Structure 1
Amino acid sequence: MSDLLSAGGMRRSNSHNYGDWQTCIKSYLMGQDLWEVVASTEKTPPPKENTEALRKWRIKTGKAMFVLKMTIEEDLVEHMRDAETPNEA
């Protein structure tokens, strides 16, 4: 039970269940309005034009990165350690 993510009861991704995890994580991120930052369809707002939009984008990006890192096995986190955006991860 400890390997279940409390949000939706999703099992952590490992080397054997990537396809199932991918389907579940996409649905979860879409439901949380975070998929656009992962898929890079929501671009980074220009920093000087709209600081509120940039702040909101950074919050969404941080939430998405947290969800991605918390739903994969610890040995896989090292592969996304240097990623700055969910799309890079």
Structure 2
Amino acid sequence: MELTNGGNSSNTQYGVEKLVGTNYKYWRMCMEAFLQGQDLWDLVTGVDAEIPADIQENVEARRKWKIKCGKALFALQTSISKEFIDHVRDVNSPKQLWETLERVFSKKNTARL
């Protein structure tokens, strides 16, 4: 994952503009495409959205899930401007982060911003 603007991470990362509030729909579309391209989208909406059960047979699956989860969270959190990061600061799964942003930026909640 490299920066597309010569190392300046303030505007664009991974080919995705930072979420600044007014560009949520565009950011959402671009971030979804990025996560799909990195094979991380299932952590948001698919079968990988929840961590595997903590049983002996799932030790390796849980380890791999945590690594993928960390990659997805890094991509998501670093693509959000400082003004909005507090909304998701304590979120610990890509699915929760995505759902939180959807709630915050949905039309009926725009006045709260």
TM-score (norm 1): 0.89
Structure 2, unaligned runs of 5 or more? 98-113
Counterpart in 2 of 1:88? Answer: 96
Aligned length: 87
TM-score (norm 2): 0.71
Contact 1:13 1:71 (8 Å CA) reproduced: yes
Rounded Cα–Cα distance in structure 2 between residues aligned with 1:69 and 1:46: 25
Counterpart in 2 of 1:14? Answer: 20
Sequence identity (%): 37
Match of 1:59 among 49, 67, 72: 67
The structure, 1 or 2, with the larger RCO (C-alpha pairs under 8 Å, 6+ apart) is: 1
What's the offset of the Cα at 1:65? 0.5
Counterpart in 2 of 1:35? Answer: 41
User: Deviations along 1:38-89, whole A, 9 cap, x unmatched?
Assistant: 2253131111121110000001111111000011101111110111111111
* Structure 1 outlier segments of 4+, above 4 Å: none
RMSD: 1.3
User: Whose Rg is larger?
Assistant: 2
